[in-house]
Amino acid sequence: MKPTWPLLALTLLQGLSVGLAGIAAVLLVMGHQQGPMVFADQSVALVTGGIGGLSSIFHMHRLAGAKYVLRQLKTSWLSREALSTGVYMLMVALTVLAHLLAPPATGLWQVLSVLAAILGIAAVYITSMLYATIRAMRSWHSPLTVLVFFGASALSGELWAWAIAGIMHRSPRGLEGALWVLLTIMAVLKALQVRNFREAEHTVMSSTGTGLAQKPYRVMDTGTTKPPYRHQTQIWPMLTSTQKFGGYGAMAAGIWIIPVITLLTGSGLMADLFTAVAGSLGLIVERWMFFGDATHSSRVWFADEPKRSSQVVR
């Protein structure tokens, strides 16, 4: 599938925002006296989540259709995503506002922080289900899609919470240990997902079919020079072996190799910031590969295969 920057920005920045909001809530629930750092995490969560939400506007082909986005809440994960993300951002904004205006003794800030984290978790789940429920996208139709979205969200939030703690000269207990745990979990999840991508790639071929159980199949094409919208993003050349090796290599270097080296050998503010930046760049590559390396069932008709050209003349 062709990666588009609005989707990259939305999914990555939403995940970062929820990750930071979740860490802030955990610190408050565990009773850490880290009020300024928690507030900084929530402020960054508000900014990054807002930017991610605004980027989704540029993914719309017709802005006039935005007023209908909430009409299909019973059946559409897209409608649910719009609602859940909006409610989550509203709660984060109220949380930041409560810290500025409400007396700390009331406990309002703490309650709103926990609610924001819960709503954020729901928003990430709904966003991930938007991809995991597409049966035609064989690479994504798996519980691994949901788990990887949660893993990326938690890891990105942890990386930047670690950097913010370094900037504010604070070191909450357990933050470094949690980072090691999340690095390990994300490594396992991505290894499983890459294997799933390769299985999907070999399942969806002209010799094996679309990988879907339903029959018969038909090509839904208007016969015009420009393909219909539902096929535009799926008509994407397969990545070569070199591109896959380079992409996943850059992802591994950013998410795991560099952070592990800096955590083992480095210390201080610059090391913390370098770890967060490297991890974020690795997660950008990870999300690009999530879209770019995915296999859609329409590949049977629209994509070239080794030693066999496309069955559709373009």
- pLDDT tens across 111-162, in order? 999 999 999 999 999 999 999 998 888 899 999 999 999 999 999 999 999 9
Assigned token pair, 206: 């002209």
- For the chain, helix (H) and strand (E) counts, in that order, are 11, 0
Residue 133 to residue 150: CA distance in whole angstroms: 16
Least confident piece of the model among 128-142, 213-227, 242-256: 213-227
Q: Is-contact 19 153, C-beta < 8 A?
A: yes
Q: In angstroms, how far is the first alpha carbon of the chain from the final one?
A: 18
pLDDT of residue 251: 97
Q: Which fold has domain 5-216+223-302?
A: Formate dehydrogenase/DMSO reductase fold (1.20.1630)
pLDDT score of 229 more than 60: no
Q: Nearest to residue 91, comparing CAs of 133, 135, 122?
A: 122
DSSP state of 296: B
Domains of the chain, residue spans? 5-216+223-302
Write out pLDDT tens, residues 250-269. 999 999 999 999 989 877 88
pLDDT of residue 223: 53
